[in-house]
Structure formats: structure tokens, C-alpha cells
Amino acid sequence: MFKSKSSKLALILFLAMSMLLAACGKGEKASTGGSSKNALEQIKDKGKIVIGVKYDTRLFGLKNPTSGEVEGFDIDISKELAKAILGDEKKVEFKEVTSKTRIPMLNNGDIDAIVATMTISEERKKEVDFSDVYFMAGQSLLVKKGSPIKGLKDLKKGTKVLAVKGSTSAINIREKAPEATVLEYENYTEAFTALKSGQGDALTTDDAILYGMVDQDPKYQLVGGTFTEEPYGIAVKKGNKELVDAINDALKKMKESGKYDEIKNKWIKTN
Amino acid sequence: MIDFSILIDNWDTYLEGFKNTIFASLIGLVGSFVIGVIVAVMRIAPIKPLNWIGTVYVEFIRNIPLLIIAFFFYVGLPAIGVTLPGFVAGTIALSIYTASFIAEAIRAGIQSVPKGQMEAARSSGLTYLQAMRLIILPQAIKIVIPPIGNQFINLVKNSSILGMIAGLDLMYFGDIVSSHTFVTFDVYIFVALFYLVLTIPLSLGVGYLEKRLARSH
């Protein structure tokens, strides 16, 4: 009896290991294969660029439930990129990403670029290549109006600060307010719902995203100004210099032509 | 191959999550079993209103996704002034959800004992409760152990729901390790191994009990 059980166990382990190997093998192939053509040429061959954007971030990338379209600053920038690279702003396909899924999706080849409120950081530069800064945000705090929290210094022991898994703000807040408890959620909607339900005292992320939440529910407000600089960049798979250059070129032209300011003023209204 | 440095570098984080997953599972095991037995008794007791309550419970709870029940306890209850931390809300949701399946397993087990046994017991002078305790339940227990064991295994795995509502369990910390290291696959492989540490002994234990009870029959 014992013998049969241990052999069963061995079989289970064997299966687990072989699945593991198969999966690893696949991952390696995906990253080394297809190097004969660079990413920019591949995009031109396909005739469309696949861009990972947020679907839950008001003002940047939000799926409009009535029209089914995603809308926001990141979306308009992506369309302009498609226009610059492929000559037509309709030649862009959007895929939903979250802070957690965007780098794995980029490295798997599911998307060609990330335009998803993504902060350029040294750590991320090891994983992906970034374009020039396309938006300068800063981390801030969102609280209910009338909250005793006025800024970073009020985040004391026992204060619950809500953040999103995989975001730089979750890492930053642990350094800036080491005494506070940080709770992390899947996305901004869930984090904001948790704040509204009283599961936390403050929500932290980039001011640009917090403005979107205030836009949705004016009972909340930003406090304490910004305490970090969050330069947003467009990320592509590592080693795709041609694509990065093409994106930087497009961004530069957008700024020169005034199109960039037009898009920015359309979405972001700082007070 | 797998990068073991991830496990080593984040050992404390994994362990913290593992500990909370064990707590949630243990509380869930006891909680869901107690609620499950009560609901099962309600469903088969010879009192009509109790039957209805039991049926409504089972049909309502087991047909709703666990995630929604968890969200209800986490972000729904605060609307009526009850704010529960993620761990508590998640563990309650887990117990209530699993209880509906356990109740069904127990009911099916009891009802699979031939009707004649109850009739014979009652006609030989035993009360309903005595007949239940002395004749029906000892037979039913053997039938219900495998399905209940399966539900317990499901419960341990389903405890990963805590990760969605900041319940500080294995899944929650797995997500955090993954988002800080930018490694997806390896991180979750280790999460899976931690779950196996809990579920495989549980699985073997159920198998052992099943065999022992079958022999004593």
C-alpha cells in the first residue's frame, strides 16, 4: 500500500516537473526567436501596432461601458503613435494590461508596447526599454474630505494606506511612511472601492490617476502635494532600439506640432 | 530552469503568507464543517420551515462565485457599518461558501442510507434523534468522508481568494513578490508548491481514512 502511494507521488512530481520544463522551454524560444527582423519592421509587416493600456484608469485609459471604446490620455497618445509609425491612427489594437501583467505580456510578445501610466525606473529598465518621458506625474495621497490626514507625516502606525499591486507607489510609500500598513489590490477600481468602504485611510498613487478618482467622486480630495517624481515612459521589449527611436521621434513631433498639449489639456485638468 | 533565489530572497514573505493561509484554512475547515452540519440537519429534519431555510442557503450560496461572496463581506458590509479586515472577511466567505457543499455531501450521505433502516429503528422504539445518532449517522459518515475530504482540499485552494481582498495570504504575497521581482512563472510555481505542502497530506489523509472505514465495515 505504502509503495503504491509513494509511486503515485513520484508520478505527480514527475508530471509537475515536465510541465515546468515545457513551459520554460517555450518562454526561452519566444524571447530568442524572431530576431531576424526588428520589432519595428515586424509591426510594419503586420500593419498594426498592439499596445497594452489600462482599462480601469480614468483620464488615462478607461473602457467606456456605453460605447465599448477605451478612452483617455494614453489612448490618444497611442493613436498618434500609430499615425506616426503606420500612417493611420486606426492601425492600433488595444489590449488590457494592469500594473502586474504589463511586463510579462510585453515579454511574451502579446503586445508591442506599453502605454499604461508606467513610471520609468532603474529596476524596470533592466526588464524593458523606455522611450523619453511622455508625461510627468508625481505620487500623492487621496483621502475623504475632512480626513485628519493632511500629508505624508500623518501616515502613522496603524494608518492603512491602499495601493495597487505592482505599482512603484506601493514600493515608494513603504519607504516614505514605514510605520503605516500598506494594503495592495489588483487594480485602481478595487483600491478605490476599498477606500470608499473604509478599508483604509488613504489611497496612494500618481496624482494624475487620483485626479481621475476625484473626477468620479468629488467627496475625495488630494492632500499633501506630490512627494515623488513619476516620469511616465512608453515601454518596449528590451533591445528594440529602432522601435524606441520611432516612438521618440513621434513624441517629439507631437510636442512640436502642439498635438501633445491638445491631448494633455483634453484629459488632465490640474487645479 | 526555476530560479530558486526568488524563494530564498523572499522566504520571509512567502512564509508570512503561508502562515496566514494555514490559519485561514484551519478556521475555514472548522467553520465550514460546523455550518455544513447545521445546514444539512435543517435540510433533512422532519420540520418543513427548517427544510426551506436549508434549501435556500444551499441553492443561494453554492451558486454564487466565491469572489463575489468575499467582496460582499469586504466592501459590502461596510455599507451597514461593519468593517472587517481582508483576512476575516475572506475566511468568513470561505467558510460560508464551502459549508453549502459540505451540507450537500452530508445530506446525500444520510439519505443514501436505506429508508427501511430509519423505519425499523423507529418501530423498535427509538426516537428520531436516537435513530439518527445510533443507526443512520454511523453508516452515513463512511459515505460522506470522501466528498467532504474533497471539499476540504478545495477549501485550502480556494483560500487564495484572500489575495484579492488584501487578506495577506500566500496568493497575496505571491502577487507582491511577482510584482516586485518582475518574475511571474517561477514565483507562482513556489506558491503552488506551498499549496501542495498543505493539500497532498490532506489528500493522503482522506484516502487513509476512507480505507480504514471501509475495512471496519
Which ipTM value was assigned to this complex? 0.78
Which of B75, B168, B189 best probes binding to A when mutated, by most A CB atoms within 10 angstroms? B75
Chain B contact for A180 (CB, 8 A cutoff): no
What pLDDT is stored for residue A230 in this prediction? 87
- What residue in A sits closest to B168 (Cα-Cα)? A183
How distant, in Å, are the alpha carbons of A99, A204, B15 from that of A184? 12, 10, 18
Identity of the residue in B74, B176, B204 whose CB atom sits nearest the CB atom of A165: B176
Radius of gyration of chain B (CA): 21
CATH number of A39-136+232-267: 3.40.190.10
Q: Please list every residue in chain A whose beta carbon sits closer than 8 Å to the beta carbon of residue B166.
A: 162, 183-185, 194, 199
How does pLDDT run across B59-118, given as a tens digit for each residue? 999 999 999 999 999 999 998 989 999 999 999 999 999 999 999 999 999 999 998 999
Residues 6+ apart with CB under 8 A from A11: none
How does pLDDT run across A78-130, given as a tens digit for each residue? 999 999 999 999 999 999 999 889 999 999 999 999 999 999 999 899 999 99
How distant, in Å, are the alpha carbons of A167, B31, B206 from that of B51? 50, 21, 30
Q: Please list every residue in chain A whose beta carbon sits closer than 8 Å to the beta carbon of residue B72.
A: none
Kindly list the strands in the beta sheet with A220-223, ordered across the sheet, starting from the edge strand earlier in the chain.
A181-185, A160-164, A202-206, A139-144, A220-223
* Domain A139-223, CATH among 1.20.1560.10, 3.90.180.10, 3.40.190.10, 3.30.70.100: 3.40.190.10
CB spacing of A20 vs B179 below 8 angstroms: no
CATH number of B4-216: 1.10.3720.10
CB spacing of A184 vs B175 below 8 angstroms: yes
What's the angle, vertex CA B90, arms to CA B169 and CA A63, rounded to 5?
90
State the residue for C-alpha cell 533565489: B5
Which residue ranges make up each domain of chain B?
4-216
Q: What residues of chain A, 35 to 94, have a C-beta less than 8 Å from chain B?
A: none
- Decide: A236 and A106 in contact? Cβ < 8 Å: yes
Q: Please list every residue in chain B whose beta carbon sits closer than 8 Å to the beta carbon of residue A194.
A: 74-75, 165-166
- Which residues of chain B are modeled with pLDDT < 50? none
How distant, in Å, are the alpha carbons of A246, B28, B66, B84 from that of B69? 48, 14, 5, 13
How distant, in Å, are the alpha carbons of A78, A88, A108, A134, B41 from that of A47? 15, 10, 20, 24, 65
Using CA atoms, how far apart are residues A114 and A104, in angstroms rounded to an integer? 11
Residue ranges, comma separated, of all CATH 3.40.190.10 domains in chain A are 39-136+232-267, 139-223
Mean pLDDT per block of 10 residues along chain A (271 residues) reads 56 60 46 61 91 91 90 95 93 93 93 94 93 94 94 92 89 92 91 94 92 90 91 94 94 94 84 50
At residue A52, the 3 state secondary structure works out as: strand
Q: Report which secondary-structure segment, H or E, holds A130.
A: strand A128-137
Which of B67, B182, B189 best probes binding to A when mutated, by most A CB atoms within 10 angstroms? B182
